[in-house]
Structure 1
Amino acid sequence: MPKTLSRRTVLRGLGTTVALPLLHVMQPQRLLASPGSLGSAASASAPPLRMGFFYVPNGMHMPDWTPKKIGSSYQITETLSRLEAHRDSFNVLTGLALDSAHAHGDGGGDHARSVAAFLTGAHPRKTNGADIKNGVSVDQVTAKAVGDATRFASLELGLEASSQAGNCDSGYSCAYASNMSWRGPTNPVAKENDPREVFDRLFAGRTKDGTRKAKTEREKHRKSILDFVQEDAKRLHAHLPALDRRKLDEYLYSIRDVEKRIIGAEKLGTNEEGVPDYPRPLGVPRELSKHSELMMDMVALAYQTDSTRVLSFMFANAGSNRTYKEIDVNEGHHELSHHGKSRHKQAEIAKINRFHLDRFEYLLSRLKQIPEGEGTLLDHCMIVYGSGISDGDRHNHNDLPILLAGGGGGRIQTGRHIRYPKNTPLCNLYLWMMQQMGVDASQFGDSTGKLNLDA
């Protein structure tokens, strides 16, 4: 076994490949980047930098979101308190705006526009027909530039299915309302919302004819995907240093744990008459919290295995009127967002906001638990969380609720609330992020320059 191991090393089995996490033997110590070093952080031996975008619909209850003070001594608000354990791992960015989501003469449709413009910075053509037109999203521009380094140039995920046609918001196509990733002006990228399908994409290999032989064999014999690669895993394990053996064991355990929870989520419990459980058709858990946690596990595994470095995630489609009975919110989210200053409705919206942030907190915890380089996986991420609408009742697209989580490979000083001048383009943040990922760009969307994260 050589002293170093290629990052592209995988475990192989019957029609199956399992990517490995970043191990110690994949990064010679003499070449490791020092924490916070911008120059060396971009070297070939340093952990790769990841980019992510997480969208929540219908705006936010802003009084419970925005801190009053700026800097590192800000008092965390009620909604943001869900992330208290990670206070030193994110920044709250206030003052950013999404001008392209405004009507500009097109009338209603703020929800659809807010999603369509969120990653593109473009004003979508108002149509519910086939003549849709938008911009190219920041994730896809980045994926085109860096995607060759990973198995998947990008991943598009969510908790609700995408639509590519129909009228979803005041004359705007459902393609705008349910997709925030756009490969081209007329090409929205549909998201995957089934955790089993994502798992299979990450780990189930294909045969030469394109069929998923490993998946078929696993289902036939009810085996874990790890059963097919165990011999390869044992051989590798025997030659790794102790630190990497522990890291590999933890990683393989996490895969098997996710597998078990996916299988459990696909089954219904026995009812009072003793009818046995049976597989659920879609493999999507009934409980939204379980569904979201499994999808967050998929995000963590995708980043951990360097299967992709660019990812987008929608908690719900634009204007979603989903109820949240798990937290005793029985009215639709969209209806509540038109609160008319009702204290009851605003309190219910705040509960939904906290529910979403709880799911995001789960992801940050997962990423923080995965050691990488001289830090954690979260240290090597740049993850945007927020909405293209500020207050759902006003439908305004300025002073947006935006978080930037992760250390960016030493590029980001975290733990702060930063307030920018009114109507600073959100695309200024995206331009900065693109440049950190190695994209040669001087402008994106309606950007006026790259955002100053040292403010």
Structure 2
Amino acid sequence: MKPLARRTFLQGVGATLALPMLDAMRPARAAAAAGSAPRRMAYVFFPNGAIMPDWKPEGVGADYELPRTLQPLARHKSDLLVISGLAHDMARAHGDGAGDHARSCATFLTGSHPRKTDGADIEVGVSVDQVAASEIGNQTRLPSLELGIEAGRQAGSCDSGYSCAYSSNISWKSATTPMAKEINPRAVFERLFGNGVDDAKARAERNFYRKSILDFVSDDAARLRSQLGQTDRRKLDEYLTSVREIEQRIEQSDVETKRQIPDMPMPEGVPSELSQHIRLMYDLMLVAFQTDSTRIATFMLANEGSNRAYREVEVKDGHHQLSHHRDDEKKVAQLQKIDQFLIEQFAYFLDRLKATPDGEGTLLDHTMITYGCAISDGNRHRHEDLPCLVAGKGGGAVTTGRHMKIESETPMANLFLSQLEAVGVQRDRLGDSTGKLPGLTV
């Protein structure tokens, strides 16, 4: 059989389904070659800083111990690089007064200081993900994917005279253009699997007949299955099953949403439980990587300054309110619960990545996911010694299984320069970078 093109799709009326990497997509001489899978990069942001004594590991190098907050990642310790010492100086005031939350969010992936304005003249810098998308985004159907949990405003004042656009976005296509995130899993699903031709009509037809996207590509899937070997047939069946499971979870979310009378408008398709929402978005990111629909993604677990309550872990007070804890032990304990809850969801994502074959390894082997923010101590709005970890080996670009302690005040943008180089994008500078970060590989 002639090898399948890597960008083979299953086609149907109103639906296009990208496929994962199959053995049939690689010529025999390439099948034995290691490193054949593409490298992916993702950035996951959480708000309001962290309780750092429970975040920062003891020990350095491979001899480190995971602290309390990171314990849910214990089974992935060998796939983690925890970095201490990074800073975001551009998140500091530099004469602009209050507004650390807005600045930290805008600075997180740009390394640039945002203009203080609540008008239309917003300006910060291009984010690392969009620098990558501008160079390698044309290799996939979607240049990049921007996901979130909380809706955000793009105008008005959200933090001491800073535009809401700064608090609601970490991805910036240009210095003045944020990349709006999608919080509705159904919309993300349609973006990944719709064919771009009369999608609204196709969605309406599917909803009317209660059909799955898989029903619309079933004929094409059957034809392809007949051409595949036993291993590829199993891979295809597992993949199609996972797509259907995501569909079913989205449909169930619709039902649950319609049963409730929420305190605020809830977009159709958004699960009522936060953990379900987060995990569904992680699963969509995984499928986007698995099918090579994109190689670049960002995910905001909340907007910066978010005052969400985390009732799933019995935290009834608002997150931002608690972050100004003034060393109150009860508030610190509640904040640590939030930090650990979000890490538990991240561990779920790593579980899924590690269980998904990709080339000569797994998706986790060929992806580097940076998890962190631009505030360390939320009580004092500190922007040094930031909470930051990189999960996954990035196709050999990262040596994991260690705690890397670097010189204090090293710009986080130095890490981004090294990550850009790892995906084949050469840049001499990003934001306030001073050079590439040494020691990602040892």
In structure 2, the partner of 1:222 is: 210
Q: Superposed, which structure 2 residues align to 1:23-172 within 5 Å?
A: 23-32=22-31, 41=35, 46-172=36-162
Query: Aligned match of 1:258 in 227, 246, 264?
Result: 246
Please state how far the C-alpha of 1:185 moved relative to its aligned partner.
1.1
Maintained 8 Å contact 2:129/2:171: yes
Letter in 2 for 1:106: D
Query: Aligned match of 2:430 in 444, 448, 454?
Result: 444
In structure 2, the partner of 1:367 is: 353
Maintained 8 Å contact 1:167/1:173: yes
Query: Aligned match of 1:300 in 286, 291, 294?
Result: 286
In structure 1, the partner of 2:337 is: 351
1:245 matched to 2:244? The reply is: no
In structure 2, the partner of 1:38 is: none
Please state how far the C-alpha of 1:213 moved relative to its aligned partner.
3.4
CA distance in 1 between counterparts of 2:174 and 2:310 reads 34
Q: Which runs of 5+ in 1 are unaligned?
A: 36-40
Letter in 1 for 2:375: I
Letter in 2 for 1:354: Q
CA distance in 2 between counterparts of 1:93 and 1:441 reads 22
In structure 1, the partner of 2:399 is: 413
Query: Aligned match of 2:363 in 366, 377, 396?
Result: 377
In structure 2, the partner of 1:339 is: 325
In structure 2, the partner of 1:184 is: 174
CA distance in 2 between counterparts of 1:270 and 1:438 reads 46
Letter in 1 for 2:374: G
Letter in 2 for 1:303: F
SS of match in other structure, 1:264: helix
Letter in 1 for 2:276: K
Aligned pairs, number: 438
Deviations 1:327-355 (CA, angstroms, capped at 9, x unpaired): 10001000111010111111100000011
Does the C-alpha gap of structure 1 residues 271 and 367 become closer, same or farther in structure 2, counting only changes over 3 Å? closer
Letter in 2 for 1:48: P
1:10 matched to 2:16? The reply is: no
SS of match in other structure, 2:272: coil
Maintained 8 Å contact 1:164/1:173: yes
Deviations 1:25-64 (CA, angstroms, capped at 9, x unpaired): 11234225755xxxxx4xxxx1111010000000000000
SS of match in other structure, 1:58: coil
Maintained 8 Å contact 1:425/1:447: yes
SS of match in other structure, 2:333: helix
Maintained 8 Å contact 2:14/2:199: no
Maintained 8 Å contact 1:126/1:172: yes
Give the TM-score, by structure 1 length: 0.93
SS of match in other structure, 2:364: helix
Letter in 2 for 1:310: I
Query: Aligned match of 1:329 in 315, 321, 324?
Result: 315
CA distance in 1 between counterparts of 2:252 and 2:221 reads 25
Maintained 8 Å contact 2:257/2:272: no
SS of match in other structure, 1:95: strand
Does the C-alpha gap of structure 1 residues 341 and 16 become closer, same or farther in structure 2, counting only changes over 3 Å? same
Q: Which runs of 5+ in 2 are unaligned?
A: none
Runs of 4+ in 1 over 6 A off after TM superposition: 269-272
CA distance in 2 between counterparts of 1:389 and 1:11 reads 44
Letter in 1 for 2:178: P
CA distance in 2 between counterparts of 1:447 and 1:102 reads 15
